[in-house]
Each structure stands twice: as structure tokens, then as C-alpha cells.
Amino acid sequence: MSYHDPHRETAEDPGLRHGGQILADQLAILGAKKVFCVPGESYLGLLDGLYEHAGQIDVITCRHEGGAANMADAYGKLTGQPGICAVTRGPGATNASNGIHTAFQDSTPMIVLVGQVARSMMDREAFQELDYRRVFGQMAKWVAQIDDISRIPEYVSRAWHTALSGRPGPVVLALPEDVLSEFARVQDVRPAQIGKSAPTNGAMEQVQQMLVRAKAPLLVLGGPDWNSEAADMAAQVATHLNLPVATSFRCQDYIDNGHPNYGGVIGIAPLAGLRRKIREEVDLLITIGSRFGEMTTQGYSLIDSPTPQMQFVHVHPGPEELGHVYAPDLAIPASPLEFLTQCLALPESGSWSADWVTGFRKDYDAFLQPTQVPGELNMGEVIRHFSDRLPQDTIYTNGAGNYSVWLHRFHAHRAYRTQLAPTSGSMGYAVPAAIAAKSLHPDRTVVSVAGDGCFLMTAQELATAKQHGLAIIYLVVNNGMYGTIRMHQERNHPGRVIATKLENPDFVAYANSFGIPGEVVTQTKGIAAALDRARASAEGYLIELQVDPEALTPTQSLSAARKQGEAEVAA
């Protein structure tokens, strides 16, 4: 069998390119800087095309498609541009579904390129064949398959615009391998131009009138389409209009948490005072970007649906989200930056008392103080130590689990995009997100915070970090169980423990096997020296934090959760 060299054909006709080269060229023109991938034979043409852009597009080889997709999600969050993920067909694609779902619920721009069987093989259940339009239809903004090489630029351009427009999100493109190996002459795309919606003059006049009438307003920040300029402007608006500010679930870094008007995050286990004020006292709620999903609204109980108990102004870049759950008094389809810019032009107004604003801050400052918990290692104290010692632009990543409550409660974010966490509650996010963050910002400190169960979901990506020279600080919070599930188990079925106990490896030895040093910390007093050693390591560093299983949350022990469940059963 003779070897077919595609580069010989293109050398003979410079205008002729194979499909993989065309695709890679379009990504370069549109501004792709990184591709996170697990290589596969189904998209060899694309890999060959990316070879030509080695100086422009950094290809990061991952150890699992779930890790690659979550890295692409983190890249999209950090940059505001589509995170690019390339995976092979069948198992590779389904492995990546974790990150695709995260990107959809988080409204993160992402493009997932999936290898596909050749067109002549389709509809025969060929090797690893799937119809990706059916597989990903509910978890992506758009799913398509490129069956015509001449339309590759069109599809890639549409994917880029779709991922970024309105409510951003993931796009999936299936790539039949014969399309990637065919040759054609095509016209390249032009750089993308993404339109941004802005509020009308009439809408801003209504906002002003509502502010004049308000006695207890609240500004809530969250959702997609933000950047550092919008975050800075949100702080200016809070000062200009003297509004108290809260953030939605896992969007705590959308305003400097040191701002005197900041009152905390609305999410899992929020401040009791903040929750009470929203439920009972707020008479004007202005929400910029957040969909007000289940976690932010405490299971849709914090705000009455479909008619909120207060005047409700909903600002969102995706018009389809306005009125989706809550019927607003004023719906404004606009990007956060455009709305905030016009807010600065509003006159200073409002008849609410100074105590209304300062009360939020007073409650938040008290909430930051670590609580007393069982055991010799207090996670609240650990997080406060990291906050006090590390630079303000340190990026913290986490996945899902009770351990994340300690980070969310006791760390005050001082800069935009220093928090990377999935609103979808996806385990295994911390390590891949930290890798994406460190690859983008090699000079910044990046801390991955994961529970023992969460960490092992994607711990193989330590190999990716090592291969690419990314020195990350890993915190593994080890309590020997799936703590969140155990908590709910005790509250709902007290004493009937099953399936939540974990047998863990030696996490430090595991890190050592990748050439990453580390240590175990069992007492709060040991964290200072451990952090010093972590910061000094050029290879990254893993700190296993062994915590008492009784230290379930900052406010409830495991035994107390069981007693709560027993009381409810008895009642």
C-alpha cells in the first residue's frame, strides 16, 4: 500500500488545501490561541492543519476528554473568547460531554470539534459512530456536521459567532474524517464581529424612575458576557448610585469584594441576613446577567415565580432568558458593559437610608470570620491564611462538594476572574480549570481546591500540568467520603449510610509520581509553612488537608446533620 502525502499535492498547487488545513486556518484567523485535545485518528487532518500554526495556536495534550473540555470552558471564562476542544468520535465525544454541559449551564463560549466516521460509513453504526446532533442537542447552542469541504469556513464562522452571541454557550461541530482529508480551494473567513445589544433611552428612564421610588434596592451581578472593564464599572455604578451589591452563585469575583457596598454572594448557604432582606425587604431588584437559576434562588424559593415580590429589572444579553422563569417589570436585553455604562449617566438618586447599604457590608464582614469546627484543622482558617498571604490576583478553582463552601465563604475576591467554578455543580473541574488558568497566566498564582472525591475525577491531568511546565498549588481536602451526599443522606435517611465512604490513595505519593512534590497537613498551625514550601516549588505542589469528617460545613457537624434528620423523621 503506497503512502499518500497530502503535502506533495499542496506543494504542486499552493491554493489547494485539505479540509483539516482549511479548518485550522479558519481558527487562526478568528483568533484561536489554544486547543485542548486528546488526539484521535478520526481528526488527523485537523491535527496536521494545526501543525502549520504551531507558533500561533498552542495545542495542549490532555489525558481525558472530560479534562480537555473543562479546560476549554475555563479558557472561555477567562478570555471571553471560545475555548476550543478537539476530541475523537464516540467515547471521546461522550467523555467531553461533562465540559459541554458545564459550558451550557455557565453560558461559556466554547467550540467542540468532534471527529466523525467517513460519510460513506454513516447510518451503518460504523466504528464509534454517533449522531452528534442527537447526542448534544440539549446541551449545546448549536450542533452541526460539516459534510461539504467547501463550507468549512462558513460553519466555523457561524460556530464562532453563535458561541459568543446573545447568551454565550458551547457549539459542537462533527467532522467526517474524509472531509478533513479532501482537497479544495476555498475563501477564508474574515475576523468575527460580534454585535452587542444595548438598553434604549426609554428603558434607562424607567430604571431611573424606579430608583427614585425605591426604599430598599439591591443590585445583583452574575451571568455571562462580563470582562474586567464591566467588573470595574459595576463598582463605579455601586458607588455612583449608592446601591448595595450581591453576586450570584459562583460569580463572586464580578466586583471587588472589598467594595464598601458589597454584601456577599447569593447561593448555597448564603448569609442569613442577605437571604432575609431579599425575601422580605428588597423592593427593587436589578439583576445584571444572572438567569437566577436554582442555586442562586435557593431552589426558586427566594423570589416568587413567576411574579417576583419586588419590582424586578432583569438585564441579560440573551433576550430569550428574559421572562424565562421570572416575569420582570422591566426586561432589558443588553450586555452588562453597555447597561452599566448607561447607569453611570443616571443622576444620583434614591431615598433609601445609608444604613440600608452599610447593613449589607456589616453582615458580610461578620460572615468572613472563620467559625469553630470539630477537629484540629479548620478549613476556614486555612482559606483565610491563603487569602491573606497570596496576591490579590490569585486564581482559585474548584469543582463541586461541601469543601467548596469554605472557599466561597471565607475568601474575598479582589479581582475579576479570580474564581473559576462550575454553576452546574460538576465534580472534577478544579484541576483542569487550574491548568487552563496557569497556561494563560503563567506569572500568576493558581490554586486548585478539590475534595478527595472531586480531585480523583480528573487527577490524571497532573500529567498535563507537568508536561507543559505549569506550577499549580493543589489543595486536596480529604475527609474520606463524598461529603455532600453524606450530608443529604444523614438529613434525609439518618444513620442509613451507604455508598458514600471513600478509600483514598496516598495523595502526596500520587503527586510525587508525576514529579510534583507535596505534603500532608493535619493541623491548622501547619498550613503557613506548607504554603511557603508550595510557593517556592517550581514544579507545583500538592497539600493534602486531612479534615475531621465531623467538620461537614462551617456551621453544621456531621452529627448535627444526623440529628436534624432524626428530628424530621420523628416529626
Q: Give the model confidence (pLDDT) of 299-321 as tens digits.
A: 899 999 999 999 999 999 999 99
Tens digits of residue pLDDT in 195-237:
999 999 999 999 999 999 999 999 999 999 999 999 999 999 9
More confident residue, 294 or 531: 531
Q: In which domain, by residue range, is 517 found?
A: 379-570
* Same domain membership, residue 339 and residue 222: yes
Helices (H), 147-271: 152-164, 177-181, 201-213, 228-241
Domain boundary, last residue among 367, 394, 429: 367
Number of domains in the chain: 3
End-to-end C-alpha distance for the chain, whole angstroms = 77
Which cell numbers hold the place of 31?
483568533
Give the Cα separation of 234 and 320 in Å (integer). 24
Q: Is the pLDDT of residue 28 over 90?
A: yes
* Same domain membership, residue 416 and residue 560: yes
* Same domain membership, residue 406 and residue 341: no
- Best CA proximity match to 253, nearest among 241, 262, 243, 240: 262
Q: Is 0.85 surpassed by the pTM of this model?
A: yes
> C-alpha distances in angstroms, 333 versus 197, 206, 209, 358?
6, 14, 19, 31
Helices (H), 304-398: 336-343, 354-367, 379-389
pLDDT classification of 357: cutoffs 50, 70, 90: very high
Tens digits of residue pLDDT in 540-550:
999 999 999 99
User: Which stretch of 198-212, 337-351, 442-456, 531-545 has the lowest confidence by average pLDDT?
Assistant: 337-351
* Same domain membership, residue 426 and residue 359: no
* Same domain membership, residue 213 and residue 158: no
Domain boundary, last residue among 312, 346, 367: 367
* Same domain membership, residue 412 and residue 332: no
Run of H or E residues at 104:
helix 91-106
Q: Quick one: DSSP state of residue 417?
A: T
Residue 1 inside a domain? The answer is: no
* pLDDT at residue 9 in the model: 58
Residue 195 inside a domain? The answer is: no
Q: What are phi and psi of 407, to 5 degrees?
A: -65, -45
* Same domain membership, residue 173 and residue 207: no
Residue 548, amino acid: D
* Same domain membership, residue 474 and residue 499: yes
- Residues whose CB falls within 8 Å of the CB of residue 38, separated by 6 or more in sequence, listed in order: 61, 62, 63, 64, 65, 68, 87, 88, 92, 95
Residue 329, amino acid: D
Tens digits of residue pLDDT in 116-169:
998 888 888 888 889 999 999 999 999 999 999 999 999 999 999 999 999 999
- Best CA proximity match to 289, nearest among 260, 244, 250, 346: 250
Instruction: Give the chain's radius of gyration (CA, Å).
Output: 25
The CATH number that applies at residue 130 is 3.40.50.970
Run of H or E residues at 434:
helix 430-440
* pLDDT at residue 144 in the model: 98
Tens digits of residue pLDDT in 74-86:
999 999 999 999 9
Residue 194 inside a domain? The answer is: no
Contact predicate 50/57, CB 8 Å = yes
In the sheet with 34-37, reading across from the earlier edge strand, the strands are: 58-61, 34-37, 83-87, 110-116, 170-176, 142-145
More confident residue, 294 or 29: 29
The CATH number that applies at residue 348 is 3.40.50.1220
> C-alpha distances in angstroms, 309 versus 89, 281, 287?
49, 10, 14
More confident residue, 125 or 344: 344
Q: Which residues of 118-139 are buried (b: 16+ CB within 10 A; e: fewer)?
A: eeeeeeeeeebbbebeebbeeb
pLDDT classification of 416: cutoffs 50, 70, 90: very high
Which cell numbers hold the place of 4?
499518500
* pLDDT at residue 109 in the model: 98
- Best CA proximity match to 152, nearest among 119, 188, 177: 188
More confident residue, 247 or 125: 247
Tens digits of residue pLDDT in 476-501:
999 999 999 999 999 999 999 999 99
Determine if the peptide bond prior to 244 is cis (ω within 30°).
Answer: no
Give the Cα separation of 424 and 403 in Å (integer). 16
Residue 307 inside a domain? The answer is: yes
Q: Is the pLDDT of residue 11 over 70?
A: no
Calculate the CA 278 to chain-centre distance: 25
* Same domain membership, residue 300 and residue 207: yes
**Range 262-270 average pLDDT:** 89
Percentage of the residues of the chain whose pLDDT score is greater than 90? 89
Q: Is the pLDDT of residue 8 over 90?
A: no
* Same domain membership, residue 92 and residue 34: yes
Q: Is the pLDDT of residue 10 over 80?
A: no
* pLDDT at residue 1 in the model: 30
Q: What are phi and psi of 2, to 5 degrees?
A: -80, 150
Q: Is the pLDDT of residue 520 over 60?
A: yes
Contact predicate 224/108, CB 8 Å = yes
More confident residue, 12 or 474: 474
* pLDDT at residue 569 in the model: 87
Q: Which residues of 148-169 are buried (b: 16+ CB within 10 A; e: fewer)?
A: ebeebbebbbbbbbbbbbbbbb
* pLDDT at residue 298 in the model: 86
3-state helix, strand, coil in the chain (%, to 5): 40, 15, 40
Which cell numbers hold the place of 412?
474575598
Q: For all residues of the chain together, what is the average pLDDT?
A: 95
The residue whose grid cell reads 447561593 is 267
